[in-house]
């Protein structure tokens, strides 16, 4: 798999570039965040690459930084988000904004991106909130910690209500969702809304 390209920039558009590497021209799809950072045609360019293989095509997606590539990989790991939407997300807002929106459960900000509906935004928060902490900047984490510490810890009832609301928004029946949540909580351990949801979704998938 191609993970990195280093060559001469032959041409660039808002969402694609052509990179000459040893006489071979590679067409690479990029987000706007990378486009803004690129030099003019003729300049040497290095891009971090994600290779997406389909039955009918092999597509290259390029990023100026390893952090952007890693965030893209995390985004497309979420059900309902393919490479095209992942690029749209990184074009619609900066990596810091995406990370902050997911970490702070800012569904309104996430759904402002074309193609991201409420269910997709909720899946992003549930599946990635903890996983993308490592990609966050120190300044973002300070802000996040300050906001998180501002309120009291949520009660089990509050977490149950939040989890139920999310499952209902996913389209599950209330009775089935409530049963799955009860089972999830009974599994024990230090529970959180995210953990309850993960366990509940696992239960509902079995059913």
Domain with CATH 2.40.50.140 in the chain: 4-63
Provide the token pair at 204: 């509902």
Which two tokens mark 46?
A: 């290095």
Within 13 Å and on the Cβ side, how many CA atoms surround 119? 9
**Structure confidence by residue, pLDDT tens digits, 119-170:** 999 999 989 988 887 887 666 656 555 554 444 456 777 788 878 887 887 7
**In contact, 108 and 101? CB cutoff 8 Å:** no
Fold entry, domain 4-63: OB fold (Dihydrolipoamide Acetyltransferase, E2P) (2.40.50)
Bridge partners, 63 (sequence order)? 48
Report percent pLDDT > 70 for the chain.
91
Dist. CA 73–CA 18, nearest whole Å? 22
Looking at residue 138, its pLDDT comes to 65
Question: Which of the pair, 64 or 206, is modelled with greater confidence?
Answer: 64
Please, are residues 30 and 15 in contact by the beta-carbon 8 Å criterion?
yes
Cα 43–chain centre separation: 31
For residue 152, the model assigns a pLDDT of 44
CATH 1.10.150.20 in the chain: give the residue spans.
Answer: 66-148
Q: Kindly indicate whether the domain formed by 66-148 is annotated with CATH number 1.10.150.20.
A: yes
Mean pLDDT of the chain: 85
Q: Provide the whole-model pTM.
A: 0.67
- CA 185 – CA 196 distance, rounded (Å): 6
Which class would CATH give 156-206?
A: mainly alpha
Tens digits of residue pLDDT in 53-91: 888 888 999 999 898 999 999 999 998 899 999 999 998
Q: Is the per-residue pLDDT at 201 higher than 80?
A: yes
């Amino acid at each position: 798999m191609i993970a990195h390209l280093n060559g001469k920039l032959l041409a660039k558009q808002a969402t694609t570039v052509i990179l000459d590497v040893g006489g071979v021209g590679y067409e690479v799809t990029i987000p706007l965040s990378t486009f803004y950072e690129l030099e003019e045609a003729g300049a040497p360019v290095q891009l971090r690459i994600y290779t997406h293989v389909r039955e009918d095509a092999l597509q290259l997606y390029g990023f100026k930084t390893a952090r952007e590539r890693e965030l893209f990989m995390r985004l497309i790991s979420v059900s309902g988000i393919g490479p095209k939407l992942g690029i749209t997300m990184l074009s619609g807002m900066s990596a810091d904004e995406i990370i902050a929106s997911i970490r702070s459960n800012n569904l309104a900000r996430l759904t402002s991106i074309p193609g991201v509906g409420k269910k997709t935004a909720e899946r992003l928060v549930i599946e990635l909130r903890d996983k993308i902490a490592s990609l966050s900047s120190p300044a973002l984490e300070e802000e996040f910690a300050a906001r998180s510490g501002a309120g009291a810890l949520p009660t089990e009832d509050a977490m149950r209500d939040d989890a139920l609301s999310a499952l209902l928004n996913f389209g599950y029946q209330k009775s089935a969702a409530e049963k799955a949540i009860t089972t999830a909580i009974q599994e024990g351990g230090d529970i959180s809304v995210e953990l309850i949801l993960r366990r509940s979704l696992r239960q509902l998938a079995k059913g």
